[in-house]
């Protein structure tokens, strides 16, 4: 899929971006989320420097990503353990017949 350029605005800054695998709508939605995070941080912290806000927003997004990645790994391990237990039960069942 070819990347299409999309005009976005984040915290008053206009940019033209393109990301492989994302539609224009998805990119615009992500830009709105980043803008919202930056505005929330600015409101809570009273930081006016947009560069600092961008870094803090990036850190918040990275932390959310890390938490999600960790939960996904935990879920995959639990599911893998369940599948292995089912295989063992099936093998026992087949062996006993």
- Of residues 60 and 81, the one with the higher pLDDT is 60
Whether 14 is covered by a domain: the verdict is yes
Taking only the tens place, the pLDDT of each residue in 23-36 is 999 999 999 999 99
Is residue 89 in a domain?
A: no
Q: What is the pLDDT of residue 2?
A: 64
Q: How far apart are CA 30 and CA 10, in angstroms?
A: 10
| Residue 96 within any structural domain of the chain | no
Tell me, yes or no, whether 43 lies in a domain.
Answer: yes
Q: How far apart are CA 56 and CA 95, in angstroms?
A: 58
Q: Note whether residue 47 is domain-resident.
A: yes
Q: pLDDT digit string (tens) for 6-19? A: 999 999 999 999 99
User: For residue 59, what are the domain limits?
Assistant: 6-71
Assess if residue 79 is contained within a domain: no
- For the entire predicted model, the pTM comes to 0.71
Cα distance between the two ends of the chain? 52
Query: According to the model, what pLDDT value does residue 74 have?
Result: 76
More confident residue, 45 or 75: 45
Tally the domains of the chain. Answer: 1
- Grade residue 1 by pLDDT with cuts at 50, 70 and 90: low
78 vs 14, more confident:
14
């Amino acid at each position: 899929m070819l990347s299409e350029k999309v005009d976005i605005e984040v915290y008053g800054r206009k940019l033209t971006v393109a990301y492989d695998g994302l539609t224009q709508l998805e990119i615009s939605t992500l830009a709105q989320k980043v803008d919202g995070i930056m505005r929330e941080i600015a409101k809570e912290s009273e930081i006016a420097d947009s560069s600092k806000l961008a870094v803090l927003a990036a850190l918040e997004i990275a932390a959310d990503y890390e938490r999600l990645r960790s939960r996904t790994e935990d879920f995959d391990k639990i599911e893998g353990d369940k599948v292995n237990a089912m295989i063992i039960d099936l093998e026992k069942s087949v062996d006993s017949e």
